[in-house]
Amino acid sequence: MFSLTQFPLHFSESALAPYMSSDTLNCHHGRHLATYIKNLNDLSDGTEYADMPLIEIIKKSANDTGAKKIFNNAAQVFNHDFFFRCIMPNGGGNVPDEIANPFGGADKFIAEFSSVASGVFGSGWVWLVRDGDEIKIMATANADTPIAHGITPLMTLDVWEHAYYLDYQNRRADFINAFLSHLVNWDFVRENMKN
């Protein structure tokens, strides 16, 4: 039987306050992500997806019209795991040169990332990615993920309302700023760029 288990946070639920509250992390990681994992386990059991690694499930189900629910839940599990690795206590701050330089400097990177994140209509994600030899920023809607399109994610910000509404209500721009200024795990992003 297929059984993906919940991965733990690498920090305590209170460690990101005041930029992300323990209530938000409990709801986001403890409930929303747990539901995606349960759904994926239930939907994959007894199917061709049952024994596949998560990334293979996403790549195969992305083009399988009969597996849309499997894709949505698998992609959300991956996206959330990646997002929670992109944040850390006392993160953010100065944008590393290797990330800023492709955009013409830190200010331009922050402006473009913030603009794309603010422009996501409804629910979705904003990503820093490597697409071939190009480093760029892209958005995906709902559960979509760069790996379904052969693009390598380097960093992501979840802009579904459940990621920020308890702390920021409708002030998505404040959440984006808090992410960039105080939460990003630049070491994780750098490692992704090296790989």
Domain ranges of the chain: 22-85, 97-194
In this predicted structure, the answer to whether residue 142 has a pLDDT above a threshold of 90 is yes
- Report the CATH number of the 22-85 domain: 1.10.287.990
In this predicted structure, the answer to whether residue 128 has a pLDDT above a threshold of 90 is yes
Q: What is the pTM of this model?
A: 0.95
Averaged pLDDT score across all residues of the chain: 95
In this predicted structure, the answer to whether residue 104 has a pLDDT above a threshold of 70 is yes
Query: DSSP states of 97-120 as a string?
Result: HHHHGGGTSHHHHHHHHHHHHHH-
In this predicted structure, the answer to whether residue 2 has a pLDDT above a threshold of 60 is no
User: What pLDDT is recorded for position 1?
Assistant: 45
In this predicted structure, the answer to whether residue 174 has a pLDDT above a threshold of 90 is yes
7-19 pLDDT, tens per residue?
A: 899 999 999 999 9
40-60 pLDDT, tens per residue?
A: 999 999 999 998 999 999 999
Burial grade of 127 (CB within 10 A; 0-12, 13-18, 19 or more): buried
CATH classification for the domain delimited by 97-194, as one of 3.40.605.10, 2.30.30.100, 3.55.40.20, 3.40.430.10: 3.55.40.20
CB atoms within 10 A of CB 147: 19
